[in-house]
A and B are shown apart, each in its own frame.
Chain A
Amino acid sequence: MPLSRSKSAFFSASEKAIADSELRRKLANASGHHLDAAARTRGEFPRYDEEREAARRIKADAINRLDQLLLQLKQRLEANGCHVFFAADAAAARKYIVEVARRGGLKRAVKGKSMTTEEIELNPALEQAGLEVVETDLGEYIVQLRHERPSHILTPAIHLSKEDVGTLFHERFGTSYTDEPERLTAVARENLRSVFLAADLGITGVNFAIAETGTLVLVENEGNGRFSSTLPDTFVAVMGIEKVIPRLADLSHFLEVLARAGTGQKITTYTNFITRPRGAGELDGPREIHVVILDNGRSALLADPVMREALYCLRCGACLNACPVYRRIGGHAYGYAYQGPIGSIVSPSLFGGGAGYLPFASTLCGACREICPVKIDIPKLLLHLRWKANQSGLQWPRAAAGARRAVQRFGRLARHPRTIRMLSRIAAWMMRPMARDGYVRWMPPPFSAWTRTRDFPVPKSAPRRKPAAKPHGT
């Protein structure tokens, strides 16, 4: 499924998503689950805020001396016997990985869940080079079978119900229909087990790269990352330049906050430490490790002192769950590999083009900042990006341009309270005949644009206006 990248794609995709009440139910269910669990585990962990501060401090330090740490990481990885490749952009990263596969004559790739490989659109490139590529995270496996993209960085199939998955498996594998998650998972386990055992290339992302030891740390729950980095002879890890942390001793601070913020677990099921290829006599582990370190617009974020903070992100997914906009439109509407609030601040730098509109898709309510395990001030960054977009003369698509003009007109009108009062009385009088049970569900055009997706409460006969406070003593 191609990404929606044209100028107005976000607007039409989000309108369509808002009208999909079934999607809204699934999103509310899933993000509600995450939020409740996360609030519970955080409540049981008195040190949470302390650990958050430590995690933020370490990230700030790491990003401020990123050049030194990247050099140290490269040297350590190479000393450990890993190949290191710095990729300036997505195309360079794809080319390198395809070349690794071609040189080794590799045919069957398994992937652990990795948003960075979604970012560089690796799968089509590998498939074009003749490889079979199988996503092995259950959610990713499901969306791959549907020829879709993940709609949440943590829960790729968040937009699907168990019935959707049941129908998909029934149609694709000819197994008898079931919508029981246990049985569906068992089908996936069986299918993927033989794929893992036959694979010659494993690909995953990286959560943390420790400069001090040259260790890649990969966290996950299912074992897809552990399988992908243990069984195939060749292993490729793809990471952004911002994933490096200075010392081994820094890691625990991130482990203490990452899962608590994202899924509400205390720690993920698996935390995998990968330092070097398989040694003599060893039974498992890759014979060859390639680490692809990706810039792809990140140094532009680094160069902007306000935006630099965006590079602290751990990709925990918490801000998506907390975001009222994400919960209404889901991940696909954003059109890029990273969705929700964090997507809106990194996508303009990583992808350019239509992503420039994403910073405007926010109510600036601040829920993302509150929940972020490294306290990224997302609303501030969104405002900064809006300002920058306006400076560069962003062209608004028609619908949005209309809305902006309407708000500007209202702004002028608001300076005349008497006129407003009169107009609202007229509006109330006109709307009353259309109301049923306290709500107006339909209005004639052009007002139907509002009632198509929202109900309007019936206005009171006399519009409420706060009486001006009387001065004391009168």
Chain B
Amino acid sequence: MGAFVRIMASVKTALGGGARPAAANHQETPAAPLVAPAAHSAELISSFARELEAVGGHFVGAVTADELSARTVELADRVGALTVAIGAGVSFDAGPLANSLEQGGRDVIRCRPAGDDQARRALIERIARADLGIVEADCAIASTGTIAVTATPARPSVLTLLPPAALAIVRADRLMPDAAAAIDSLGAETIAHHRVAFITGPSRTADIEKLIVVGVHGPKQLHVILLWPKDV
């Protein structure tokens, strides 16, 4: 506590007394899209796909809810995933998806809230050995090809960290034009209660002679499926 008071005192002294500028309010009004809503949404999707691929990610495609299971199974096959870890959805129930993956003879790890510390550690160890981690992202950013994932007890953040491949499913109407809009749509409430990660492509490094290598610590592959909601 002593150091806190001392540092605050030296910061106050350094800033000097007298009139202080009021809190600046740099609120900007977002520019209205120049095109019709449908065209705007098509533009966002094409930008998202382009930027995701530019950073080494894989845009699987846009699918309807009916096609989601089939496309996910297809991707799991392509990745060669025998063990798949899946987290609870944000907007949909991931149960049916987990069932279809299991029907193909795959080992499916369904994430549930951990009981005790031993169960918690055991589950992390299992996810670490999975070939593919699947989550629904809260939203995505079109200008950078970024997905935003929030962690909950049944949707741990290790799903997009430990397995060598990750698949994120994101609703098309949760595609935001830029980082400002994505942060705004998540809101202070979400960020205060969940650990959030913005993920842009597979884990990468350029630490050796600036040559880009993917898959340093995190996933080597990042796949994204855009989910076309029924009501849009």
Residues of A within 8 A of B (CB): 26, 29-30, 33-34, 54, 57-58, 61, 64-67, 70-71, 74, 80, 84-88, 92, 136-139, 142, 155-157, 160-162, 165, 181-182, 184-186, 188-189, 192-193, 196-197, 212-215, 221-224, 226-227, 230-231, 241, 246, 248-253, 255-256, 263, 265-276, 279-285, 293, 295, 299-300, 302-303
Contacts and interface: CB of A to CB of B under 8 A. Distances in A.
Contacts of A139: 205, 207
Contact of A251 (B120, B153, B183, B211): B183
Nearest to A224: B217
B2 to A, nearest CB: 9
Contacts of A213: 188, 191-192
B12 interface: yes
A230 B120 CA distance: 13
A223 B194 CA distance: 18
Contact of A248 (B15, B158, B183, B198): B183
A281 B210 contact: no
24 contacts: A26-B209, A54-B28, A64-B20, A66-B11, A86-B7, A137-B207, A139-B205, A161-B209, A182-B213, A185-B205, A214-B192, A215-B192, A223-B217, A226-B197, A246-B23, A263-B206, A269-B55, A269-B200, A281-B153, A282-B114, A283-B113, A284-B157, A293-B7, A299-B11
Given A86-B3, A181-B213, A271 B198 contact: yes
A-B pairs with lowest CB-CB distance, top 4: A281-B113, A223-B218, A223-B217, A303-B14
Interface in B88-134: 111, 113-114, 120, 123-125, 128
Contacts, number: 246
A211 to B, nearest CB: 11
Given A67-B12, A86-B3, A138-B216, A221 B180 contact: no
Contact of B204 (A29, A227, A269, A272): A269
A138 B21 contact: no
B199 interface: yes
Contacts of B152: 282
Given A221-B205, A223-B161, A276-B192, 15 more contacts: A61-B24, A64-B21, A66-B11, A67-B12, A161-B209, A189-B215, A193-B128, A197-B124, A223-B216, A267-B200, A275-B194, A281-B153, A282-B113, A283-B124, A300-B14
B158 A192 contact: no
Interface of B: 3-4, 6-8, 10-15, 20-21, 23-24, 26-28, 51, 55, 111, 113-114, 120, 123-125, 128, 141, 143-144, 146, 151-153, 156-158, 161, 178-180, 183-184, 188, 191-211, 213, 215-218
A415 to B, nearest CB: 44
Contact of A61 (B13, B23, B28): B23
Contacts of A80: 192
